[in-house]
Amino acid sequence: MSESQSKYYSHIISKLEKLIRKNFLLITAKGLLISLSIIVATLFAFILLEYLFRFSSSVRTIIFYSWIALIILSVSYFVIIPLLKLFNIIPSRNYFETAKIAGLHFPFVKDELLNSLQLVNGNSTINLYSIELIDAAFSNVYQKVKDIDFSEIISFNSLKRYFINFIIIAFVALFSILFISPISSASGRFFSYGKEFTPPAEFQFKVFPGNTKITKGENVEVRIKVTGKDPGEIFLAEKDITETGFTNHKLERDSAGTYSYKFQNIRNTTDYFAFAKDIRSEEYKIEVTDHPVIKLLEAKIIPPAYSKLPITEQKDNGNITALKGSRVEYKLIASKDIKSSKIVFSDSSEVLLTSNNNQASGSIRVMSDKSYQIIITDLNNDNNIQPVTYSIKAVEDAYPSIELNFPRTDLNLPEDNRVPINLKVSDDFGFTKLILNYRLSSSQYEKPQENFSQIDIQFDKNSKEQFVDYIWNLTKLSPAVNDVFTFYLEIFDNDNISGPKSAKTQTINLRVPSLDEILSQVDKTQDDALKELQQTIKEAQELKKDIEQINRDLKQDKKELTWEEKQKIEKALDKFESLQEKMQSISAKLKDVQNELQQNKLLSKETLEKYMQLQQLMEEMTSDELKKALEQMRQTLEQLNRNMTQDQMKNMQIDEEKFRKSIERTMNLLKRIQIEQKIDEMLKRTERMNEKQEELSKQTEQINQNDQKENDNLSKQQDEISKELQNLENTMEDLKEKMQDMSDVPKEELDKLLEEFDKQQNEQLSKEASQKLKQGQKQNAQKNQKQLSKNMQQMQQMMQQMKDQMMQQNQMQTFTDMMRIIDNLLSLSKKQEELKNQSQKLDPNSSQYQTLAQQQNEIKNNLNKLLDQLAQLSQKTFAVTPEMGKALGLANKNMEQSLSNMQNRNPKNSAMFQQEAMGNMNQAIMMMKSQLESMMQGGSGQGGMMSLLQQLQQLSGQQMTLNNMTQMLQQMQQGNLNQEQQAQLQRLAQQQQLIQKSLEQLNKEAKESGESKKIPANLENIAKQMQEVITDMQTEKLTDDLIQKQERILSKLLDAQRSINERDFEQERKSETGKNIVRQSPSELNLLKQKKDSLKEEIDKALREGYNKDYEELIRKYFELIQQEVKPN
């Protein structure tokens, strides 16, 4: 079209062109599906023909090329020609026909589109119509079709039918070719058209394993299956490379239809095949390869050096169990030269070994559990077949163990600021260090510490299990009242592979108790013990009534016990045992009180002795003998024997009475001990206050009175003394209250003491001193402080005098009362002897029996009176022993038996029991006489067990002071000792030598007196340890080890004291006539001169009692000894 043609012409032509192209595209797609369907269908048809007729090679060639020609024709006709038309290579554009088709599908266009195109004659150069008419026609048509896509006329939905047909044809053909064996074979022959194929055999062989490789000497089983017609017989032909011909073996078929043959121990490469009739299988090869083999494996296990475990070796066993960190050295020998070797672990890691000829070596480190294999490769790159899988077990170094045996719980810090620590540590291989970690966790005077400080404790690090004793001296920490120190111990093992592991003890708190706190707790415990004793007495009274009722019931005329009676007796036994358990509990509480007071040095030696005697008395109340009697009673009950039970109940009644009286005695003696203890407490309080006041006076003298902070600090300390003065007054009031029920205690002296304390106005003086210190009035405060110190010294002296007087009066009263009882017993013994002489001469028919029986009864009644006197005396003193009462009780029983025999007119038996009564009274007299002699020895300051205890206490105090001085010198040490410090260390060594000599002398005296057996600690060993300390000091070895040696010496000295406390009164009292039982009474009776008059009065009073000359001389001697103690030094 020229430029004059319609401007809308090109737009309409483009729309028609799009329609034409889409139409040819549809034709091409259809042609492709049709041609593919023809190709696949003809292929499948030709293959089916091949399957049916098995064509020759020439026929298959013709068919194959015919199929190729058909492919070319169908593709050309159905695909290539439409493509050429699509791209207009072959001219095929007819816009008029296309416009007609569009007009048919879009009626509103009708013929207008075709008519407008016909206005333009594409083949003519002359326009028959005007441009305006053409423009108008095309404009009109364009307006109608501008929004129409003519290509929508063509739809691709029609392709679905062609596609489905193709899929069906392709699926059938492909499935048949792939999965139907005859058709698969036919397809193979069709494509291999140039090859001739023979017809298939009647049967075929499937041979397993076919070609294979094995190691020399292995066995191979060949299995053969037959497909097709059964041949009947099958043979296996085989020969190795050393043979020239095959050897045939007839095979048998098993139930599964399989033929098999087993090659045994194949040494060479072997060829084999199966055959039957004229058909044979392929020929297979069993290739024998000489793989390397590990002939020898050695493993050397080298544990870590810290474990000190021995090196172990094992052969042909690669399973390793070793301590973590151990090194394992391998050495192996192979069956042939090897190129390389390695250890392959289960975690895929590898360790290369060093290979040399047929040997290899290397090492690994055992760090965890795993398995491994050793792979060796020969020069032909062949590996060892099926390598053995070994295991490695890494044994972990166990954590150390630490157990704190003492202290197990929080405790109060003793007065000497030393805490004995005992712990058990254990580990499988040893230790590196033991640390004591501590900190000040609470204090009224300084800020608590957040971090722990450490002390490295020296001990045997190589011993795997041991007990460690360590005495922790807190003196250098300057512990103050109510300070709390928290500590724990930590042990580290010597594991240098995973790092030293540690274990810790529980945390223990050490608290510094105040004196008031200690004494308050002691008072409470004692008061509770008294209340429990009172309750126990009530329960014992009830038990007494029960036993009396049981005894009355048992007198009934019955052969056997009834069930009700047995139940009542068992209930009574349970009550008795319950009372014994209560006494054991009370005894334990009082023992704790004694230890607490002794540990804090709050007991005098006299009061300590009485505590130990009280413990012995309470232990006798729950003796094994009594327990055995109760057990025997239970056994008798089981027999239901009424007579035996009656006898046992009488014994139980006697035991109950003794038990009840012992409780009463214990309670009364405990009250007396409380009074003595309160006096000790007053002395201790006064002594400490005096020391504090003197120290405070020194500080006051040295301060700058313008320093208000220092003034306030001293004022607070003075206020504390004021509080202690108030506590002292309360203690005296408490003592006064406890003395109210006692008649033979120095109440008047205590009243004078209280009166003097009120006159001194110590509290007022202390408060004024505190106020003046705050105001900076230094000189006025010092005056008050000096007066206070003077008053305290005076009070301390008066308290000591009161204590001495009380103990002296008690001692004198005990002496005179016991002398009176001895004198009366001597008289009764003489009367009993006279009566015995008369009784043994009597004729059984004599009329004097009644008279003699009356005399015997009178003697018995007098003895009962003496028993009552002795019981009353026992309520006041420990000088009366249970053995004395037991001897007199036996004498009383002998007299009853003598009376019974007199009534039966049996003079011989009566005289025999009278003789025994005399012997028991004489035994009691000897024990009392021994007790008096012991009191006299104590009064003259002689030795004995208490003297031994005192000497040990003195040595312990000296050793403690020496230890503190040594530790102070060590703290001053900076590197080597200077000349002054060396001289000081030598002076300390001399002091240690003096203590050693004193200990050796004490040990010598103890051996000579026979007292050494009572000391479980070996004093000779302690002396040897002192010598080691002396040697270290002389060679200037001022180390932590030296400090601990000294602390261990002190600990053993303290242990010796405690052992004496526990053993002194255990088993030393025996009822043996003529044996002295040494008892130690208070040794120091320092009375003022004006008290001598009271001594003279006591002497005169004793002599007026009318003793015989021997005992008058004994009394005079005793009081002379006391008077010597009164004389001023």
Domain ranges of the chain: 9-191, 203-289, 294-395, 405-513, 516-680, 710-737+758-792, 831-939, 945-1063
The closest of 134, 124, 101, 95 to 14, measured between CA atoms, is 95
E strand or H helix at 404, and its extent? strand 401-406
Confidence of residue 133 (pLDDT cuts 50, 70, 90): low
Highest mean pLDDT, choosing among 74-88, 562-576, 618-632: 74-88
The two tokens of residue 311 are 């090196």
The closest of 963, 942, 956 to 1057, measured between CA atoms, is 956
Task: Dump pLDDT digits (tens) for 209-234.
Answer: 999 988 777 889 999 988 878 888 89
Place of tokens 């049996």: 906
Confidence of residue 439 (pLDDT cuts 50, 70, 90): very high
Task: Dump pLDDT digits (tens) for 714-736.
Answer: 888 888 888 888 888 888 888 88
Cis? peptide before 420, omega within 30° of 0:
no
Contact 822, 1111 (CB under 8 A): yes
The pLDDT value given to residue 147: 66
**Cα dihedral 817, 819, 825, 831 in deg (nearest 10):** -120
The closest of 947, 928, 927 to 937, measured between CA atoms, is 947
For 294-395, CATH number out of 2.60.40.10, 1.10.40.60, 3.30.465.10, 3.10.129.10 equals 2.60.40.10
DSSP reduced 3-state for 593: helix
**Cα dihedral 159, 165, 170, 172 in deg (nearest 10):** 160
Q: How many CA atoms does the CB half-sphere of 872 hold within 13 Å?
A: 10
More confident residue, 482 or 122: 482
The pLDDT value given to residue 1092: 46
Contact 1035, 941 (CB under 8 A): no
Least confident among 148-152, 261-265, 334-338: 148-152
DSSP 309: P
Least confident among 438-442, 610-614, 868-872, 966-970: 610-614
Stretch 836-843: mean pLDDT: 81
More confident residue, 1091 or 546: 546
545 has a pLDDT exceeding 90: no
36 has a pLDDT exceeding 70: yes
Q: Which residues contact 673 (CB under 8 A, 6 or more apart)?
A: 607, 610, 611, 614
434 has a pLDDT exceeding 90: yes
Stretch 321-339: mean pLDDT: 94
269 has a pLDDT exceeding 70: yes
195-218 burial by CB neighbour count: b if 16+ within 10 A, else e? eeeeeeeeeebebeeeeeebbeeb
Distances from the Cα of 1108 to the Cαs of 827, 829, 1103, 1105, in angstroms? 11, 15, 9, 10
Strand order of the β-sheet with 203-208 is: 203-208, 220-228, 259-263
The two tokens of residue 694 are 């003197």
Task: List own/partner pairs for 275-282 with CB under 8 A and 24 or more apart.
Answer: 275/234, 275/235, 275/237, 276/203, 276/226, 276/231, 276/232, 276/233, 276/234, 276/235, 277/231, 279/201, 279/202, 279/203, 279/204, 279/205, 279/231, 280/205, 281/205, 281/207, 281/224, 282/207
Contact 492, 500 (CB under 8 A): yes
CA-to-CA distance for 204 and 209, rounded, in angstroms?
16
1084 has a pLDDT exceeding 60: no
Stretch 498-512: mean pLDDT: 92
Confidence of residue 317 (pLDDT cuts 50, 70, 90): very high
Neighbours of 779 (CB within 10 A): 10
696 has a pLDDT exceeding 90: no
For the chain, how big is the Rg over CA atoms in Å?
61
Least confident among 151-155, 205-209, 880-884: 151-155
Confidence of residue 120 (pLDDT cuts 50, 70, 90): low
Q: Which residues contact 373 (CB under 8 A, 6 or more apart)?
A: 343, 344, 387, 388, 389, 390
The pLDDT value given to residue 112: 60
Contact 579, 659 (CB under 8 A): yes
The two tokens of residue 868 are 């009552």
Contact 43, 68 (CB under 8 A): no
Contact 959, 1046 (CB under 8 A): yes
Confidence of residue 199 (pLDDT cuts 50, 70, 90): low
Task: Dump pLDDT digits (tens) for 733-770.
Answer: 888 888 887 777 888 888 888 888 888 888 898 888 88
The pLDDT value given to residue 908: 82
Which amino acid appears at position 1127 of this protein? K
874 has a pLDDT exceeding 70: yes
The two tokens of residue 1129 are 């030094």
Distances from the Cα of 270 to the Cαs of 149, 207, 242, in angstroms? 81, 15, 9
E strand or H helix at 221, and its extent? strand 220-228
The two tokens of residue 156 are 């691709």
The two tokens of residue 183 are 């058709």
The phi, psi pair for 439, rounded to 5°, reads -160, 155
Contact 456, 505 (CB under 8 A): no
DSSP reduced 3-state for 467: strand
The two tokens of residue 584 are 């054991």
Q: Are strands 508-511 and 484-493 parallel, antiparallel or unpaired?
A: antiparallel
The pLDDT value given to residue 302: 95
331 has a pLDDT exceeding 90: yes
Contact 716, 722 (CB under 8 A): no
Percent of the chain with pLDDT over 70: 84
543-569 burial by CB neighbour count: b if 16+ within 10 A, else e? bbebbeebeebbeeeeeebeeebeebb
CA-to-CA distance for 663 and 655, rounded, in angstroms?
12
What's domain 405-513's architecture? Sandwich (2.60)
944 has a pLDDT exceeding 50: no
Q: Which residues contact 965 (CB under 8 A, 6 or more apart)?
A: 988
Same fold: 203-289 with 405-513: yes
What's domain 203-289's architecture? Sandwich (2.60)
CA-to-CA distance for 391 and 376, rounded, in angstroms?
18
The pLDDT value given to residue 1056: 76
Confidence of residue 1059 (pLDDT cuts 50, 70, 90): low
127 has a pLDDT exceeding 70: no
The pLDDT value given to residue 1126: 44
Confidence of residue 1088 (pLDDT cuts 50, 70, 90): very low
The pLDDT value given to residue 940: 35
Contact 286, 377 (CB under 8 A): no
Task: Dump pLDDT digits (tens) for 662-688.
Answer: 888 888 888 888 888 888 888 888 988
The pLDDT value given to residue 409: 92
CA-to-CA distance for 442 and 463, rounded, in angstroms?
37
Contact 301, 313 (CB under 8 A): yes
Contact 911, 899 (CB under 8 A): no
Largest CA distance in the chain: 201
Confidence of residue 507 (pLDDT cuts 50, 70, 90): very high
Confidence of residue 342 (pLDDT cuts 50, 70, 90): very high
Confidence of residue 363 (pLDDT cuts 50, 70, 90): very high
DSSP reduced 3-state for 121: coil
The closest of 142, 157, 148 to 105, measured between CA atoms, is 148
Distances from the Cα of 886 to the Cαs of 250, 630, 880, 1068, in angstroms? 114, 19, 11, 16
376 has a pLDDT exceeding 90: yes
Confidence of residue 1073 (pLDDT cuts 50, 70, 90): very low
1029 has a pLDDT exceeding 80: yes
CA-to-CA distance for 805 and 1085, rounded, in angstroms?
7
CA-to-CA distance for 899 and 857, rounded, in angstroms?
7
Least confident among 101-110, 353-362, 722-731, 1017-1026: 101-110
E strand or H helix at 172, and its extent? helix 159-179
Mean pLDDT of the chain: 81
Stretch 391-401: mean pLDDT: 94
